[in-house]
A and B are shown apart, each in its own frame.
Chain A
Amino acid sequence: MSVRTAPPRLRTGAAVIVLMIIACIAGPWLIRPLPGMDPARAALLPPGSRVTVVLLTDGAVYISPRVARDAGHIVVRGPGERRIDIPRGRIAKLATHRYWLGSDRFGRDLLRESLTGGRISLAVASLALLIALIVGGSIGLAAATFGPLADSLLMRLVDAFLAFPILFLLILAVALFRPGPPALILVLGLSSWMGLARLVRGQVLSLRQREFVQAARVAGSPWWRIWELHYAPNLVGPVAQDAALRLGDLVLAEATLSYLGLGIPPSTPTWGSLVAEGHKVLLQGWWLSTFPGLAIASLVIALALIGDGLQDLARNTSGEGETAPVPAEPV
């Protein structure tokens, strides 16, 4: 498969995810607070606001949203809209910062906060997914492989976990560990592997009955070759599809828990905690909850697109018309 033959939905979703990851990794390095900036002067700026910091040679600092320039002077707005003329010669440094997504109550740049939060949100969700894949995959494989007794016991375990209230698990984890990313990853991972276990078990059991797996056994292939040729390639699609959708769920779950204050402490920004912080001052700053919320929504939608795209892909490669046109039946 090349990029050009991939289903459009898969391409779109993957492009969004890749852009988000790049932005989250690179963004907080590129967008830095201005030196000498007093955050209190930039509290609750609406999206698109600009702030200029003027450092004078004697060490004084002026912070102003608007700066007018003329020959030899610049004019800044001081407290109370007071006009201050500063001769060019006294200026050591002049820098402007634009708050594309506005700023929060503490004068932090929301874009930078969101990108930093995205790192945490994505990392937590991905690591939780990894745990879910490892635990769910192993249990599903074991249930399908080690006979009816193991199958029954492991599937009852799955049922038990499904019936277990996740909030209780969470409070338990918060009580046992310090609340923070590790505890949250563990709790999210351990509460979302059950679907994967069922999926893997079901796929393996149904693949085992497929005639091409029977044919491989008749051909005398050792078990690891049967896995390599027949099980693994046919498992990857459904599992990847499920994983993509599940990752979206995990991002939402992390956001929900952080919003509720059960996940990551508010001192560490995540998309969930940013939404939570923002909603306290929603009337003064609509942008604070909106943009992290939009980030969550776009990520989940992109992951859903990837999930659907993988489904399209599976249909295309297992169905008809893979290569050249069908030649006539040789007689």
Chain B
Amino acid sequence: MSQPLLVARNLSKTYRNRGLGGTGAPVHAVRNVSLEIGRGSVLALAGQSGSGKSTVARLLLALEPPDTGTVLFDGIPLNDVSGARLRRLRRRFQAVFQDPYASLNPRLTIRTIVAEPLRAAGNLSSGVLTQRVGELLELAGLPARFMAKRPGSLSGGERQRVAIARALATRPDLLILDEPLSALDVSIQAQILNLLLHLREELGLAMLFISHDLALVRLIAGKTAVMYEGAVVEQGPTATLLTAPMHPYTQTLLGESTPAQTGRAGQLASGVPWPEGSCPFAPSCPFAAAACTKEPPLEELAPDHLVACWFPPGVKAARTGATRS
């Protein structure tokens, strides 16, 4: 079996205040996250806001270095490449960001925006650039005449199509989509999702699809990883994970159980502090027990199904090690 396209091993990232004498508690945005994305397959990363999904995306995109851990893209460790080599490698993994109002520079024309990765990739004549940009816009479902416009005159959906056209410019193998639909109206969401499904079929793109909306995840991803407070708590085939979730947090997300501690409007509280070293979900978990003062490792409890919980509800046999403590 060929190696996966993207492998992330034990990524961690902690943020501290900028500058000398920075005070305040460090934020553990990503804690020991490992992911794999196979060629042409789609992995979804789910979890509520603040769970570290976007930070994972930034680490995978080599926008910032992880504190620990490695990212291998096609076997190449991203930590070890920099400068021009990294820029060449970047052509093969591109990104679409959450907010199409922020991800397009308002001062540039659509042509300049979509042509940016092409220019970075090599010297193309102006005519060739225009032709390529036209093709890309068409691929993203926009007429070529949009080239002369600026983002200010486009709707949210059109902007997101421009962002997708830009991401496709260098014919990447992998697309990292950070909440690409959450800033859009529901009707537009469906159109963009259809576009993404179409591109996956047509171009054989691998995708990391980051979303807090499990209903969307179901439609596009073969595998899903669920994050809570910076760590992956459950990972498995999307169908299994959504029909038979094992982690209490995933169950909460799916509305199958009620969290013990809720924030405003009955929503699951985010950022509930938890004692050092214990399971981060324990303060909100309806099934918390004594063993939960130790953080559970992510282990394969069913074939291809990883869960980080001492007492996964719905699973008959409690895990070894947990019963003894």
Chain A residues in contact with chain B, CB under 8 A? 148-149, 151-153, 155, 210-212, 214-222, 225, 229-230, 233-234, 317-326, 329-331
23 interchain pairs, CB-CB under 8 A: A153-B20, A210-B102, A211-B97, A211-B99, A211-B103, A212-B103, A214-B97, A219-B166, A220-B90, A220-B117, A221-B87, A225-B116, A230-B105, A234-B105, A317-B152, A318-B106, A318-B152, A320-B153, A322-B149, A322-B150, A323-B149, A323-B153, A330-B142
B155 at the interface (CB under 8 A from A): yes
Chain B, 150-194, contact with A by CB distance < 8 Å: what is the 0/1 string?
101111011000010010011000000000000000001001000
Are B88 and A220 in contact (CB-based, < 8 A)?
A: yes
8 Å CB contact of B112 from A229, A317, A331: A229
Alpha-carbon distance between A317 and B119 when the two chains are bound, in angstroms = 24
8 Å CB contact of B102 from A212, A317, A325: A212
CB contact under 8 A between A234 and B107, given known A210-B102, A218-B61, A219-B90: yes
What B residues does A331 contact at CB under 8 A?
Answer: 191
What B residues does A148 contact at CB under 8 A?
Answer: 18-20, 22
Are A329 and B155 in contact (CB-based, < 8 A)?
A: yes
What A residues does B84 contact at CB under 8 A?
Answer: 222
Q: Chain B's nearest CB lies how many Å from the CB of A325?
A: 8
Q: Chain B's nearest CB lies how many Å from the CB of A236?
A: 10
CB contact under 8 A between A219 and B120, given known A214-B97, A329-B188: yes
What A residues does B231 contact at CB under 8 A?
Answer: none
Are B141 and A221 in contact (CB-based, < 8 A)?
A: no
Counting from the closest, the 5 A-B pairs by CB-CB distance are A219-B117, A211-B103, A152-B20, A220-B90, A220-B120
Are A324 and B153 in contact (CB-based, < 8 A)?
A: yes
B75 at the interface (CB under 8 A from A): no
B224 at the interface (CB under 8 A from A): no
Are B18 and A151 in contact (CB-based, < 8 A)?
A: yes
Interface size range on B against A: 35 or more
Alpha-carbon distance between A230 and B153 when the two chains are bound, in angstroms = 19
What B residues does A212 contact at CB under 8 A?
Answer: 102-105
Kindly report which residue of chain A lies nearest to residue B116, judged by CB atoms: A219
Are B152 and A215 in contact (CB-based, < 8 A)?
A: no
Alpha-carbon distance between A234 and B102 when the two chains are bound, in angstroms = 13
Alpha-carbon distance between A212 and B105 when the two chains are bound, in angstroms = 6
Q: Chain B's nearest CB lies how many Å from the CB of A324?
A: 6
Are B61 and A151 in contact (CB-based, < 8 A)?
A: no
CB contact under 8 A between A326 and B19, given known A211-B97, A217-B63, A220-B90: no
Q: Chain A's nearest CB lies how many Å from the CB of B29?
A: 15
What A residues does B108 contact at CB under 8 A?
Answer: 229, 233
Residue of A219, A318, A329 with most partner-chain B CB within 10 A: A219
Are A322 and B117 in contact (CB-based, < 8 A)?
A: no
Are B97 and A220 in contact (CB-based, < 8 A)?
A: no
Alpha-carbon distance between A174 and B38 when the two chains are bound, in angstroms = 72
Q: Chain B's nearest CB lies how many Å from the CB of A238?
A: 13
Are B107 and A318 in contact (CB-based, < 8 A)?
A: yes
Residue of B106, B108, B169, B170 with most partner-chain A CB within 10 A: B106
Kindly report which residue of chain A lies nearest to residue B170, judged by CB atoms: A220
What B residues does A153 contact at CB under 8 A?
Answer: 20
CB contact under 8 A between A330 and B141, given known A148-B20, A319-B152: yes
Q: Chain A's nearest CB lies how many Å from the CB of B129?
A: 14
Kindly report which residue of chain A lies nearest to residue B83, judged by CB atoms: A222
Are B61 and A330 in contact (CB-based, < 8 A)?
A: no
What A residues does B19 contact at CB under 8 A?
Answer: 148, 151-152, 155
Q: Chain B's nearest CB lies how many Å from the CB of A323?
A: 5
What A residues does B166 contact at CB under 8 A?
Answer: 215, 219
What A residues does B223 contact at CB under 8 A?
Answer: none
B271 at the interface (CB under 8 A from A): no
8 Å CB contact of B119 from A210, A214, A217, A225: A225
Given contacts A234-B105, A317-B107, 14 further A-B contacts (CB under 8 A): A212-B103, A214-B63, A215-B166, A217-B63, A219-B166, A219-B169, A220-B91, A221-B116, A222-B120, A225-B120, A319-B106, A324-B153, A325-B153, A326-B153
Alpha-carbon distance between A231 and B94 when the two chains are bound, in angstroms = 21
Are A222 and B87 in contact (CB-based, < 8 A)?
A: yes
What A residues does B314 contact at CB under 8 A?
Answer: none
Alpha-carbon distance between A220 and B166 when the two chains are bound, in angstroms = 12
What A residues does B91 contact at CB under 8 A?
Answer: 220
What A residues does B94 contact at CB under 8 A?
Answer: 218-219
Are B105 and A322 in contact (CB-based, < 8 A)?
A: no
Are A218 and B104 in contact (CB-based, < 8 A)?
A: no
Alpha-carbon distance between A329 and B155 when the two chains are bound, in angstroms = 8
Chain B, 56-76, contact with A by CB distance < 8 Å: what is the 0/1 string?
001001010000000000000
B273 at the interface (CB under 8 A from A): no
Alpha-carbon distance between A320 and B150 when the two chains are bound, in angstroms = 9
Are B20 and A149 in contact (CB-based, < 8 A)?
A: yes
B297 at the interface (CB under 8 A from A): no
B121 at the interface (CB under 8 A from A): yes
Q: Chain B's nearest CB lies how many Å from the CB of A237?
A: 9
Alpha-carbon distance between A182 and B39 when the two chains are bound, in angstroms = 67
Kindly report which residue of chain B lies nearest to residue A153, judged by CB atoms: B20
Q: Chain A's nearest CB lies how many Å from the CB of B233?
A: 27
Alpha-carbon distance between A140 and B244 when the two chains are bound, in angstroms = 54
Chain B, 78-115, CB within 8 A of any chain A CB: 84, 87-88, 90-91, 94-95, 97-99, 102-108, 112
Q: Chain B's nearest CB lies how many Å from the CB of A97?
A: 53
Kindly report which residue of chain A lies nearest to residue B95, judged by CB atoms: A218
Alpha-carbon distance between A153 and B21 when the two chains are bound, in angstroms = 12
Q: Chain B's nearest CB lies how many Å from the CB of A64?
A: 64
Kindly report which residue of chain A lies nearest to residue B149, judged by CB atoms: A323
Residue of B99, B102, B170 with most partner-chain A CB within 10 A: B102
What A residues does B152 contact at CB under 8 A?
Answer: 317-323
B50 at the interface (CB under 8 A from A): no
Q: Chain B's nearest CB lies how many Å from the CB of A188?
A: 30
